[in-house]
Structure 1
């Protein structure tokens, strides 16, 4: 049984580096093109595996060449093949990504087989979820699937970590089952209903999420770092200073690394520091899974 279960999306990313992200109706000439593996769930699972986690990834791909390539790649990363499901007659998930000169990105996703990952699929891996220490999820698969998996995990004592991206409202049922929620600034504003313009605003927003039922909150604040909030108070963990090339998957690397550190017995603040180092390395490289570091790189 794996300590960490990741349930989520698998995509193939088509990315182009440009000087600027085009405005509506505008065409820009880009530079470097990359086709890489992506999807929030896959990014987080691969990050956890490369950083030394004992992890299994539950996902669904289509019966096409992109799905075949993805499954083979995940197995090579050490993720168990039996949880890499295939939906016949459906294309695999795809993402179109534009990255500007500052490393900021704009992403459009066609979910494909990700939309078919169902509560029934979760029931098949119920035993794995119940035996795990941590369950990590995001919102690129159906909400009902996320809620069902969280309910199973919470009932068995498995700690549920939710990265609420892309941004979406949380039901009372879901937030009550969360050990930890990890929104970025924009996502936290949507979830809490509070505008965040300062660290103090972020503290108030985190407190609101905890009042709603989440036991712990980590708000990722980009170059400011992350704000770790528990019942004992909030701690700002500063970001590592690097020159960003591409921020794609930085949040996913943070979440995967966070789970690994927690599974090794670190506190939330210690885990956030570990995750910050991992995500800092990732933004110095192009692509999603192509940017994810290995454990030896962090230790150096």
Structure 2
């Protein structure tokens, strides 16, 4: 059984499904809404756990009505598109943080957390030679020096553009973006294309496109979280990167078909 540590957010979601996105100052009827605590890093913890891994999340909580310092709103249309707003949490502290990380065989890092805590987690993982997976869900400045210690980075097309300034819409543009991102220090770059699949550019400079599954999406906010949850589980089980991405594609396809 894999032993995974996720460093990320603890949010409480209010998710509303509508037939279309609202224009500025336009009111749109809420057709379905759900108040839930399973979000962002929590989703990835749950998905990796359902795959069979032991997963621990290191997160910060606050003192609001839901005992969280985070808040998130996500709106999904029937076509499966979504928008997300994230507020950064406080610091993650605790005497047993190092003990938790040193027992892991994979550490997933997300930029929703306080940047100092992300850096500290990277350094602890490096200290104990633990592979790290980086998912920059929010554009946030981070010390470039730590990137050489990160083994995998997973991004969607928008996140890849934010880092590379290359508009990613096909395999050729994904390769250009991946090369730029890899030059920042990351060993392996994985760019996801929604339900079309994922583009992998390895430390050996080998490019591979892995096709996804065509499904009817009912909950697209789950897609990236499910992919990452499946990916870290597969890595923790010792799968090579290509097999791990294939597995993650399958987990993501299954997750988005469920409400």
TM bucket normalised to smaller: over 0.9
Alignment length (residue pairs): 258
Shift of 1:65: 5.9
TM-score, normalising length from structure 1?
0.80
Deviations 1:13-54 (A, max 9, x none): 111111001111111112111112233211111111111012
2:71 is paired with a residue whose SS is strand
Is 1:12–1:35's contact at 8 Å kept on the other side of the alignment?
yes
The CA distance in 1 between the partners of 2:113 and 2:94, in whole Å, is 12
Q: Identify unmatched segments of 5+ residues in structure 1.
A: 68-90, 287-300
Aligned residue number for residue 169 of structure 2: 197
Alignment match of 2:83 (pick from 106, 121, 128)? 106
Change (3 A) 1:270 1:2: closer
1:276 is paired with a residue whose SS is helix
The CA distance in 2 between the partners of 1:135 and 1:123, in whole Å, is 18
Is 2:219–2:256's contact at 8 Å kept on the other side of the alignment?
yes
Is 2:19–2:77's contact at 8 Å kept on the other side of the alignment?
yes
Aligned residue number for residue 157 of structure 1: 129
Shift of 1:223: 2.4
Change (3 A) 1:62 1:171: closer
Shift of 1:194: 2.2
Is 1:122–1:145's contact at 8 Å kept on the other side of the alignment?
no
Aligned residue number for residue 117 of structure 1: 91
Aligned residue number for residue 214 of structure 2: 241
- Mean Cα displacement is larger for which, 133-142 or 189-198? 189-198
Is 2:195–2:215's contact at 8 Å kept on the other side of the alignment?
no
Shift of 1:57: 1.3
CA RMSD after TM alignment: 1.9
Q: Does 1:264 align with 2:237?
A: yes
1:218 is paired with a residue whose SS is strand
- Which structure features the higher share of helix residues? 1
Is 1:184–1:221's contact at 8 Å kept on the other side of the alignment?
yes
Q: Does 1:210 align with 2:182?
A: yes
